[in-house]
Amino acid sequence: MGKRVIRILIAIVMSTALFGAITVTTGTSPSAAAATYVSKKYTAPKKGQSNRGVTALQRRLIKAKVLGSSNATGYYGTLTQAAVKRFQRKHGLKATGKVNRSTWQKLVAKTGTIKITSSSSSKGSKKLDRRCKFSGRALCIDKTRDKLYYVKNSRIIKTFDARFGCARTRTREGRFRVNWKSRHHVSTIYHTPMPYAMFFSGGQAVHYSSDFARRGYNGCSHGCVNIRNKSRLRWVFDRVHVGDRVIVYRS
């Protein structure tokens, strides 16, 4: 009888240990639960769009080494179109620059599962000039990368493709402030629309440019910082205040 009781107790202990081992093995760590991945869903991204589907496309193009690592902006512009063409040529597809379903399927097959980690999202701070890292709002304009970053409390909130002045009308570099804003501005010199203009140095302003949206980097400005995504710039315009910091620099 005593031996039988001992055998029963041993069986109970072993079962408990085994259950504990299984629980630990199959449990999900907090870091794994927090991990996110680039979508494999086809969303028919098109030039001119600005959405998460475009960001997923750009992340895959970066993984495929046909797009620069700093260009996951969420906006499908000339740079993204050129990267799509490079990928299509590289893999025997018709180089249209348009992402049809067959191009997307090939891109997903070549790039596989892409994990988005917290470390990869923190890389954005490395693009910023040190003068952009403070508590407050700023328009940080990188002439090396052709980017404008809307920054709040040292963190990049929005990223835009940007175009600058021509050789004889260069965009000034340095530290400035938003001096005044004009939602429906028209240039008094060139008589051209400058929607959502935020003036920071004399007549130089950040503003939407229909020419930039149409021709891309084939053109240049008279010194202003051109932005080609109108709806996203409107979002920033509504949040930027007169007096906010503007930094124009080269990284």
Q: Concatenated DSSP letters for 15-65?
A: HHHHHHHHHHHHPPPHHHHH-EE---------TT-BSHHHHHHHHHHHHTT
3-state secondary structure of 209: coil
Region label for 48, one of left (φ > 0), alpha (ψ between -120 and 50) or beta (otherwise): left
pLDDT value, residue 73: 74
Q: Name the residue among 126, 125, 140 with its Cα closest to residue 178.
A: 140
| Calpha distance 235→45 (Å, rounded) | 21
| Calpha distance 23→11 (Å, rounded) | 18
pLDDT value, residue 25: 34
pLDDT value, residue 90: 95
Which amino acid is it at 249?
A: Y
Parts of the chain with a pLDDT under 50: 5, 10, 12-35, 118-124
The 10s digit of each residue's pLDDT in 62-111 is: 999 999 887 887 778 889 999 999 999 999 999 999 999 999 999 999 99
pTM: 0.55
Number of alpha carbons in the 13 Å side-chain half-sphere of residue 55: 12
What is the number of other CB atoms lying within 10 angstroms of the CB of residue 132?
24
pLDDT value, residue 20: 40
Residue with tokens 């890389």: 123
pLDDT value, residue 11: 53
- Secondary structure tally for the chain: helices H, strands E: 8, 11
